[in-house]
Amino acid sequence: MRILLSFTRNWAFFIGIVLVWQLVTQAVRSPFFPTPITIVDRLGRLLLTEAVVNDILPSVGRILGGWLIAVAIGVTVGTALGLTKTGMAYVGSLFAFFRAIPPPALIPVFMILFGIDTTMKLATIVFGALWPVLLNTVDGVRSVDSVKTDIARAFRISPVLRLFMIVLPAALPKIFAGLRISLSIALLLMVVSEMVGVTNGIGYQLRYAQDQFSFPDMWAWVVLLGALGYLFNTLLLVFERRTLR
């Protein structure tokens, strides 16, 4: 019952905001800010065209591909560093340096190294989405209760079983926090990487609509990005609840 009330309250607030948006834009009639009805109508028409195959699906594939690679690297390296006592003492400053570099600033570097194909986009997404997963994994592994690991050693449980039965389950809440942050970063970097040197994808279509002063199309792509972000986050939260249960 509480979940239903929370769901109803959240959606009621969202619908109220959309209604206010509709009334204000309808009264102002600015060409730069179309009404929500116009945006939804344009988005519906885009979803009935080849844009789904040519732009939306490739962008979704780049988001998920780059994010999954970042998750695999971040969890593996973060677990290894978290299990060592001095690992972060050696690489902590190096991580802080690379983490401070804005990933869009490295797009020219990735273009030189990988060209302008999908590999460049994946490299940009992986570089930006990696750090929240890696650092949260290190913090989660290091925060495991030492009493549990000491008991496991006393019962002579193998290191592999200790890792998968004690360490990783205890670190999962912080790991999932990093996953949610990295997923939103992956969505952002997908858009940025597709605005450079490509001819397909949501980022390309967003920039093209802006260059053509097609504001309904531009807002339709923006709303689609918001819907994708909401969908990905919801699915991840469902998976997180089932996993942590």
How many whole angstroms separate alpha carbon 229 and alpha carbon 64? 12
Q: Would you state the structure tokens that stand for residue 129, as one six-digit string? A: 């989405």
pLDDT tens track for 24-51: 888 888 888 899 999 999 999 988 888 8
Write the pLDDT tens digit of every residue in 110-142.
999 888 888 899 999 999 999 999 999 999 999
The residues, ordered by sequence, that sit 6+ positions from 51 with a Cβ below 8 Å of its Cβ are 205
Q: Which pLDDT belongs to residue 125?
A: 95
What gap in Å lies between CA 186 and CA 229, rounded to an integer? 10
User: Which architecture, in CATH terms, is 36-244?
Assistant: Orthogonal Bundle (1.10)
DSSP 212: T
| pLDDT at site 92 | 87
Digit-by-digit pLDDT tens for the chain (245 residues) are 666 676 677 788 888 888 998 898 888 888 888 999 999 999 999 888 888 999 999 999 999 999 999 999 999 999 999 988 888 888 888 999 999 999 999 999 999 988 888 889 999 999 999 999 999 999 999 988 778 777 877 878 888 888 888 888 889 999 999 999 999 999 999 999 998 877 889 999 999 999 898 899 999 999 999 999 999 999 999 999 998 87
Q: Residue 82 in contact with residue 142, Cβ under 8 Å?
A: yes
Q: Measure CA 226 to chain center.
A: 12
Taking the alpha carbons of 72, 228, 178, 118 in that order, is the dihedral positive or negative? positive
pLDDT value of residue 2: 67
Q: In this structure, are residues 179 and 236 in contact, taking their beta carbons and an 8 Å threshold? A: yes
| Alpha-carbon radius of gyration of the chain | 22
- Where do the domains of the chain lie? 36-244
C-alpha–C-alpha distance, residues 132 and 136, integer Å = 6
Structure confidence at residue 12 (pLDDT): 84
DSSP state of 55: I
Q: Measured between alpha carbons, how far is 164 from 145 in angstroms, rounded to an integer?
A: 15
pLDDT at 3: 63
Query: Nearest Cα to 35, choosing from 227, 212, 203, 220?
Result: 220
- The pTM score is 0.89
| Residue-level pLDDT at 26 | 87
Sign of the dihedral through C-alpha 241, 228, 73, 84: negative
Contact between residue 127 and residue 103 where contact means Cβ atoms under 8 Å apart:
yes
% the chain with pLDDT above 90: 53
The pLDDT score that the predictor gives to residue 7 is 67
